Structures are given as structure tokens and as C-alpha cells.
Chains A and B, each alone.
Chain A
């Protein structure tokens, strides 16, 4: 029988690959940023799955409850940081896109002559 962790590994890899495909093939700059966001979601899911244990409990001590087997709390702490920084990077990228549009008048990546594909 397939366990939860395997389903989540496959899902996270699929999300990363879908986001990467969008970054490589799309020409609209905003769609490239959307693809990077989908990749971010996949990476965070992968990191949290690395610490998953079947039947593990939430890593919070509750009063009057016996200590059982908890999932790994270290990847969750890292993912907290990663989500917030992912938003910061997205905001910066979108401001760059707005600035590119204000300067060049287009957001088509194949029409911007700086780095020609």
C-alpha cells in the first residue's frame, strides 16, 4: 500500500517541475512569476514531508497529555522562514515587472532586448 509520505513526495516533485516548466517556456513576465510561486509551494511541501512520520503528533506539548511520537519540528521551522522570504522575493519580482513595463512599455520577454533568448 502506498503511504502518505510517498504521495507527498511525488506531489511536491510534480509541483516543482510544473513551476519550472512555466519559468522556461512562458513569455509573459507575470506568468513566469506565477510559475516561480508554484515551485515555491512545491519546495515547501517537500521540506515539510521530510520530517513526516506516520501516526506522528503535532509538535506541541498539550497539558495533561502523554508524550507520544512527534513529527520532526526542525523542517517546519525552516519552512516558516522559507514561506515568508518567498513572499518577499515575489513582491520584489513583481515590482521589477512593473518597473520594466514603465520603462519599456511591454512585458513580453521575447521583446525585451537585454538578454535575447
Chain B
């Protein structure tokens, strides 16, 4: 029944696409940029001072969307923390009970850790000069941090420190945006810091600083998500079976619920 519905659905969509086939064999690529991209490319040097036009769009032209994205990431990390407080199996102690990755994995992870962090910080800070920016740089730093978890090197991430860093980064983002009220235009997220010399590191106004805040927030949030899924409340009663009620006692591990930030 379900397979039949699936095949009908996909068959209908494939039929619709097949009806577009005559248009498929006429080469119709775009040859000029006649959308909103043209005025943005032309004005990006004057308005934002950043050589990377995508960075200028993400931070300055559509800065509120980035604020919304950071909020959605925070909400998903909050959701994971709330849901994971009902899990009962301590993955780390059972996964690494007998063997914990061995000497090669742990020594290799320890060796690679500063290099990955260095590359992540480089990608964050050069977001306005070369491809990258706050988001992949923050993800790289989070990857470095949970290489430590995965190789069995350290079993516990400092959750308090991560929460404080995340709060500071969020406040920094909003504070830098509120600086926009001091300029001539008086609106949120305008670029009022001095724009320096084009194509150097300290140019483009507040773009490196906002990306640094975004990178810090993304890194600490993603580390918290993966660390929460690895640690869990300690098993104090029998494992759940099919019809047992959930969460008859409060979870022991309290720091997964510390998501208090403005």
C-alpha cells in the first residue's frame, strides 16, 4: 500500500518532468546577470568594503537573515538538549569500555588538534577576503573538539564554558549590530566601523568581528550538540522495554539543561 502510493507519487512527478523534455534540448543558459545580483556586485566595494561578495550579502545586505539562522541553530541545540535528557544509555562508557581507540588514534588526534583549530580560525578571520567565513570555520573548530571525544581522549566537554562562550558570542553579535545606531543611518546592523584599505585583513568594517562572533557561536553550539548526544543520564534503573513509561525519575546529569541565555 505504501509502496504503491510512493510509486504513484514519484511516477506522477516523473511524468510532469518528462513533459518538460522538449525544453530540455534547447540550450538556454543565462548569459547575463539581470537580477538583484548586479547592483549588489557593483556596490559591494563601496558599501561594505569586503572583497567576498557572498560575505557582504550574508553579513550586511541580509544581516537579519544571519541573525535568524543563528537563532534557529540555537533552537535546534536547545531541542537536542531537552530531548536527550530522556536518554539513558551512557554511550561513552559502553563504547570505550574495553578499547578506547588505541595509541595511534589518540596520539594522532592530539597531534592534529591544533592544526585544525588553526585552519578554522584562519577561515573565520579571512571571511571577507577568501571563500569561507564564520560558518565553515566554526564547524571546523567543532570538528577538532569532537575528534577528542571520538578517539576516546576526553570523555567530558566543559559544558559550562561552552554555554558561557555561546552567550558571549550571541551578545556580541547583537551588540555589534546595535553599534549601527551610532552612525548616520541609525538602523540595526549598519556598517559603521572604519572600512580601512580594500583587500587587507582589517578592512570591511565590522564584518570580521561579526563573523568571529558567528564562528564562536556555531563552534560552541555544535560541540554542545554532539557532546550531549554522547553523554547521557547515568543508568540507574533497568533498560526500557516496550510499554514502560518514560522518565519516571529526574535525570542525574544536570548540565545538559543549562541552556539559559537571553
Contacts and interface: CB of A to CB of B under 8 A. Distances in A.
Q: Is the interface of B mostly helix, strand, loop or mixed?
A: helix
A85 B51 CA distance: 26
Interface residues of A, number: 53
A10 to B, nearest CB: 7
A78 B66 CA distance: 10
Nearest to B77: A88
Interface string A19-53: 01100110100000000000000000000000111
B83 A95 contact: yes
Contact of B27 (A3, A83, A99): A3
Contact of A54 (B29, B37, B241): B29
Interface residues of B, number: 61
Contacts of A61: 44-45, 51-53, 199
B54 interface: yes
A14 to B, nearest CB: 9
Given A5-B29, A25-B6, A102 B246 contact: yes
Contacts of B5: 24
A117 B65 CA distance: 37
Contact of B51 (A17, A53, A56, A60): A60
Contacts of A53: 29-33
Contacts of A83: 135
B150 interface: no
A17, A77, A98, most chain B CB atoms within 10 A: A77
Contact of B37 (A6, A73, A92): A73
A77 B2 CA distance: 38
B130 interface: yes
Contacts of A117: 1-2
Interface string B71-110: 0110111011001101111000000000000000000000
A115 interface: no
A105 B241 contact: yes
Interface in A95-117: 95-96, 98-99, 102-106, 117
Contacts of A84: 69, 73, 135, 218
Contacts of A98: 83-84, 87, 229
Contacts of B199: 61, 63
Interface in B92-150: 130-131, 133, 135
Interface string B1-30: 111011001100110010000001101111
A31 to B, nearest CB: 13
B165 interface: no
B184 interface: no
A91 B80 contact: yes
B30 A81 contact: no
A13 B17 contact: yes
B33 A70 contact: yes
Contacts of A6: 24, 27-29
Given A21-B9, A74-B40, 6 more contacts: A52-B30, A59-B53, A60-B52, A70-B37, A74-B57, A81-B58
10 contacts: A3-B27, A4-B29, A17-B13, A51-B37, A54-B29, A69-B32, A70-B53, A71-B33, A78-B65, A98-B229
